[in-house]
Amino acid sequence: MTQSEANPVKGRIAVFDEPNAFLDIKETSIPPVGEEEILVKISACTICGSDLHTITGRRIEKTPTILGHEIIGHIAAIGGDYAQDYSGHQLSVGDRITWSVCISCGQCKLCESGIPQKCASVKKFGHEVLDGDSGLLGGFAEYVLLPASTSIFRISSDVPDEVLCPANCATATVAAAIRQVPIVSNKRVLIIGAGMLGISAIAFVKTKGASQISVIEPDDDRNKLAFAFGAAHVADNISKISERFDIIFDFSGSSSAIEQAVSAVDLGGTIVLVGTVAPSPAISLDPEFVVRNLITIIGVHNYHPMDLKTALDFLVTHNKDIPFDQLVEKSFPLADINDAVEFALSHKPIRVMIKP
């Protein structure tokens, strides 16, 4: 039996068909909610950098699709008698929730070895083919249909959409990156790239007691945000940095910056690579330098559902003392999504929000 407030039969979606073309807003029928599936009425979806890369053709996506994966909403219907969140608590119609971007099977070798984010049959919200009314998995829409194995988290009602919406992509990925370096207290940290991830990382390492936070970011507006979030020093290029660091996070994906970062890491230091998610030039690496200086280099892609829990707890704890709400510069209704994309591309704010 399906539990629901009312039975939505139709909802609007914004369909991505090809790069550099307008998203096509249309109405689609909402399929019946299957056993253990959850229908969510979307309250907000922020436009991630990867959505823009797809829209502009820098990144190839299966089509047609509904983009958008940084989503929060309220449960509109639950398929079957019972549903639970990731922590095992019962979910009810009306609950405010978000969920892991990755949908993992929970049974393959990779899931069983603790990296469900690399599941052999992983699917991702905002990245799957729309086939008729099947595949309501994107956030640029009124409704999204969560498959049975989605890792769901309830979120408190007193934290604004602007703060929580980017959690299930950007903030959770940063939490996964921070998890790679168990000790941040009294460490000198360099963060390359002050977009949504880099800015969030500044906040994380600041609260964990980093002794020095330096940032590489060429954009003036983002420099100001870096300082507002706790950076002590910002430079526009890594070649202008002469000190050494204990921990370096790369969120820029720039091969040349990463190559220079290797020589900026101090004895026993760690470099965490996060930003390189598109084919990029290879870098040269002096293995003797890595060996003699006990350097650790770690890659982070996607995240474990527990990282999303860490991210949500962090945002709930710090949303009053760290200005996360300033990262969403403007909101648009779903009907104006093409204006929202245009604004995001031309003004390059940290985030733009769609509120259906």
- Residue ranges that bind Zn ion, judged by CB under 5 A: 48, 50, 104-105, 108, 111, 119, 169
Closest separation between CB of residue 10 and Zn ion, Å? Answer: 28
Closest separation between CB of residue 142 and Zn ion, Å? Answer: 20
Residue-level length of the chain: 356
Closest separation between CB of residue 49 and Zn ion, Å? Answer: 7
SS (H, E, C) 73-95: EEEEEECCCCCECCCCCECCCCC
Among 273, 272, 8, 234, smallest CA distance to 133 is for: 8
Q: Of 194 and 264, which has the nearer Cβ to Zn ion?
A: 194
Cis amide linkage into residue 64, ω under 30° from 0:
yes
Start-to-end C-alpha separation, the chain: 28
How many whole angstroms separate alpha carbon 109 and alpha carbon 118?
10
Closest separation between CB of residue 192 and Zn ion, Å? Answer: 18
What six digits make up the tokens of 91?
A: 């979910």
Closest separation between CB of residue 145 and Zn ion, Å? Answer: 20
Q: Of 167 and 205, which has the nearer Cβ to Zn ion?
A: 167
Q: Of 123 and 355, which has the nearer Cβ to Zn ion?
A: 123
What six digits make up the tokens of 194?
A: 């002050």
Q: Of 77 and 337, which has the nearer Cβ to Zn ion?
A: 337
Closest separation between CB of residue 89 and Zn ion, Å? Answer: 23
Task: Read off the amino acid at residue 212.
Answer: Q
Strands 265-273 and 245-250: parallel
How many whole angstroms separate alpha carbon 40 and alpha carbon 21?
28
Q: Of 175 and 184, which has the nearer Cβ to Zn ion?
A: 175
**Helix or strand (DSSP H, E) at 345:** helix 337-347
Q: Of 40 and 264, which has the nearer Cβ to Zn ion?
A: 40
